[in-house]
Amino acid sequence: MDRRSLIGLGTLALAAMQTRASAQTPTRVPPDPDERIELWPGVAPGLLNPKLAPRIVETSPEPDIYRNRQLTGIAQPALAVFRPAAPDGSAVVILPGGGYRALDFDVEGYDVARVLNAVGVVAFVLTYRLPHEGWQDAADVPLQDAQRAMRLIRAGAAKYAVDPARLGVLGFSAGGHVAASLATRSSAKVYPPLDDADMQSAAPAFAAVLYPVITMLPPFAHEASREQLLGDHPSTDMRAAYSCERLVTRETPPCFLAAAVDDPDVPVDNSLAMLAGLRAAHVPAELHLFEKGGHGFGLGVGQPAGAWPDLFIRWAQARGVFRGTVL
């Protein structure tokens, strides 16, 4: 069965479909959010390529049914804001994947945000900068954007109906590496403070990572992501410094992990290594492994891996983070 046939299966997928159906547009996909937060005043820090410009490629064969866009040329990182009809005070920053080469901001961003809205969660999809596109301190550029995003949301918490103590992060694939980096390096000084917002904490209250890139060390590193982030010939010390499983401390927030054992791109050992690091530091964690699902399954509609959104929401509800609709 193709994705068109499977849209709407499952409780959470149905919620997403109902959101789509209610959109007053000529197509059967909802409009993009018109509320955005640009992260940086003026030019983002460390720009080395003044000709950098956004480029979106649509990879969906049926864009009137569902979108699957990839974004590159990110000169102005921003948050797309998705507000629920009945916010419960919780919020999540969503970090799409794409191997640090592009951002798959529909299937690992906007679609997920709409599902979280259905249970009262304010969702912010972050289009973070890609290291290889021409930035000083390239390896820290995604973390700079993630930290800044958390601080801006906390500074504007009242405007977005967000409880700053219930703001978390959710990342996919390479976005999972950004999320895990934020969870383990939220206080790292990767850019100079710019304004009062930068006095806020960047630490997430919880973190969730889906089929994540975690380690930069062999034998389980996703070398394509490693190359984009760290370059062609990083030292072993540099690889280790960006391997999130080695950076977990008691201050790391509770984590939810999910992946497929048959992932052909990012070895499931990444998730296992992160779990081992969390357990060693006595950080609460929950891991779900699916026999099948491959890589990049997003919401996993129509697959066994499609259980993860429900599992994640129940996990967050059990921790008292999400307090909206009980599934």
pLDDT in tens, 304-315: 999 999 999 999
Q: Across-strand partners of 57?
A: 70
DSSP symbol at 48 = -
As for how many domains the chain has, the answer is 1
CA gap 218, 221 in Å, rounded = 5
Residue 92: name the closest of 39, 150, 37, 142 by CA: 150
pLDDT of 28? 75
Q: Does residue 323 lie within any of the structural domains?
A: no
Number of H helices, E strands in the chain: 9, 11
Chain segment 186-243, per-residue pLDDT in tens: 999 999 999 999 999 999 999 999 999 999 999 999 999 999 999 999 999 999 999 9
Contact 69, 56 (CB under 8 A): yes
Q: Does residue 325 lie within any of the structural domains?
A: no
Q: Does residue 326 lie within any of the structural domains?
A: no
Task: Check which CATH number belongs to the domain holding 298 and give it.
Answer: 3.40.50.1820
Average predicted confidence (pLDDT) for the chain = 92
Contact 150, 207 (CB under 8 A): no
pLDDT of 272? 98
CA gap 53, 55 in Å, rounded = 7
Q: How far apart are the first and last CA of the chain?
A: 26
Q: Provide long-range contacts, Cβ within 8 A and 24+ apart, for 136-140.
A: 136/45, 136/46, 136/47, 136/48, 137/46, 137/190, 138/229, 138/231, 139/229, 139/230, 139/238, 139/242, 140/188, 140/190, 140/191
Q: Does residue 140 lie within any of the structural domains?
A: yes
Work out the number of other CB atoms within 10 angstroms of the CB of residue 33.
Answer: 17
Task: Return the percentage of the chain with pLDDT > 90, whole number.
Answer: 88
DSSP symbol at 107 = I
pLDDT of 78? 98
Q: Does residue 293 lie within any of the structural domains?
A: yes
CA gap 278, 235 in Å, rounded = 25
Band (pLDDT 50/70/90 cuts) for residue 155 is: very high
pLDDT of 325? 65
Chain segment 40-81, per-residue pLDDT in tens: 998 899 999 999 999 999 999 999 889 999 999 999 999 999
Residue 215: name the closest of 181, 257, 183 by CA: 181
Sequence length of the chain is: 327
Q: Does residue 61 lie within any of the structural domains?
A: yes
Amino acid identity for residue 14 in this structure = L
Q: Does residue 306 lie within any of the structural domains?
A: yes
Q: Does residue 324 lie within any of the structural domains?
A: no
Mean pLDDT of 164-184: 98
pTM: 0.92
Is the predicted pLDDT of residue 16 greater than 60, yes or no? no
Is the predicted pLDDT of residue 173 greater than 70, yes or no? yes
CA gap 299, 249 in Å, rounded = 30
Structural domain harbouring 251:
3-318
pLDDT of 324? 80
Residue 65: name the closest of 108, 109, 5, 22 by CA: 5
